[in-house]
């Protein structure tokens, strides 16, 4: 049941990413020498130089930008880290969507994702009228998509997410394999978008 719920949340996130990239909004200008566009796909990251000097497009696992690739909120290095009180630390290259968007009739205030290997990250904050303002931080296996650790208010567990400028912070009770019958471990998230 939890995996199906997470897959539904993941599908909603992917729909939101597709809606974000196809809504006609312009990505960061490539006229700026420091502009960078980031897109997500499974694989290793490689950089492709544009015609403009100093402009770079980063696409994971491909040699060109897919037409429906989500565009990250900010240029430059975007990172996320989840630190659990049991000593586990997970670091990620992050993709951030910091503007409110709508997907499948649900308002999503912001998301942070990572498709790193071997652990993926999904952070979502829904609006107050969508899933009662649900919030989640999920860490899952990049191959099997099995949940490794999860803090998710949909299950009645404690979690708090905040957006301050381009920084997302969060804290909550993380359950191993998303199993709310197991003993939780407190943890913190910081994402620099």
Kindly report, residue by residue over 124-140, the tens digit of the pLDDT: 999 988 898 999 999 99
Q: Per DSSP, what are the bridge partners of residue 45?
A: 60
Question: pLDDT confidence of 105, banded at 50, 70, 90?
Answer: confident
Tokens describing residue 100 = 């409110």
Q: State the pLDDT at residue 76.
A: 59
Separation of alpha carbons 23 and 96, rounded Å: 17
Report CA Rg, the chain: 16
Higher pLDDT residue, 74 or 160? 160
Pick from 2, 189, 159, 186: which is nearest to 96 by CA? 189
Q: Which residues share a beta bridge with 56?
A: 36, 49
Single pTM value for the model: 0.62
- CA angle at residue 186 from 181 to 189, to 5 degrees? 120
What was the pLDDT predicted at 157? Answer: 82
The tens digit of pLDDT for each residue in 64-80 reads 333 333 444 444 589 99
Distance (Å, rounded) from C-alpha 167 to C-alpha 17? 19
Helix/strand/coil for 21: helix
Cα 67 from Cα 90, distance rounded (Å): 30
pLDDT category of residue 36 using cuts at 50, 70 and 90: very low
Asked whether the beta carbons of 71 and 99 are under 8 A apart, the reply is no
């Amino acid at each position: 049941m939890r995996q199906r719920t997470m897959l539904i949340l993941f599908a909603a996130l992917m729909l939101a990413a597709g809606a974000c990239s196809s809504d006609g909004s312009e990505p960061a200008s490539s006229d700026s020498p420091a502009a960078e566009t980031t897109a997500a796909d499974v694989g290793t990251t490689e950089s492709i130089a544009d015609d403009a000097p100093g402009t770079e497009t980063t696409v994971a696992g491909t040699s060109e930008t897919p037409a429906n690739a989500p565009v990250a909120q900010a240029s430059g290095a975007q990172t996320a880290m989840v630190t659990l009180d049991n000593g586990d630390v997970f670091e990620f290259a992050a993709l951030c969507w910091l503007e409110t968007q709508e997907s499948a009739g649900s308002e999503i205030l912001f998301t942070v994702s990572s498709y790193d290997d071997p652990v993926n990250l999904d952070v979502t904050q829904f609006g107050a009228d969508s899933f009662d303002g649900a919030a989640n931080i999920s860490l899952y296996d990049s191959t099997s998509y099995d949940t490794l650790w999860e803090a998710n208010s949909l299950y009645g567990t404690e979690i708090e997410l905040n957006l301050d400028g381009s920084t997302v912070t969060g804290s909550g009770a993380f359950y191993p394999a998303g199993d709310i019958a197991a003993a939780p471990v407190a943890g913190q998230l910081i994402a620099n978008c």
